[in-house]
Amino acid sequence: MAGHLLLIDDSAISRKMIKANLPPGDYTIAEAGGGREGLEQYQAHRADLVLLDLTMPDMDGFETLTRLKELDPEARVVIQSADVQESSREKAFALGAEDFLMKPPKADALRQLIESCV
């Protein structure tokens, strides 16, 4: 069975870079340009893995993560952000993130995520 990956990031360039670094595999990729759209997409098609940006204009990643976990406590969400503050990492993990990748994520890190989650 194919897996499903959801990228939530307001930057089309960031989404494109992530897709370019993903390993080949039997999974589909959906994209959302913000938190609200990401929540709608997740409700319509539950993802095996969500890659979530923290800094977005309509709804930040922390709020999006909180709402995703309310919808599905088992949601597998990985934060990807350029925010290097330890407090952001701690907050993300406290809200239920599985991992925190620096932006842009390295191809090896993405490969390991996909292999373990999808």
Q: For 42-63, what is the mean pLDDT?
A: 94
Q: For 63-80, what is the mean pLDDT?
A: 96
Residue 10 domain-assigned (yes or no): yes
Residue 77 domain-assigned (yes or no): yes
- Residue with the bigger pLDDT between 92 and 27: it is 92
Residue 51 domain-assigned (yes or no): yes
Residue with tokens 């930057």: 11
Residue 83 domain-assigned (yes or no): yes
Predicted confidence band of residue 118 (pLDDT cuts 50, 70, 90)? low
Please name the residue ranges forming H helices in the chain. 12-21, 35-44, 61-71, 86-94, 107-117
Residue 109 domain-assigned (yes or no): no
φ/ψ (deg, to 5) at 51: -100, 120
Total domain count, the chain: 1
φ/ψ (deg, to 5) at 60: -70, 170
CATH number of domain containing 10: 3.40.50.2300
| CA-CA-CA-CA dihedral for 18, 20, 26, 29, to nearest 10 | 50
Q: For 100-114, what is the mean pLDDT?
A: 81
Predicted confidence band of residue 1 (pLDDT cuts 50, 70, 90)? very low
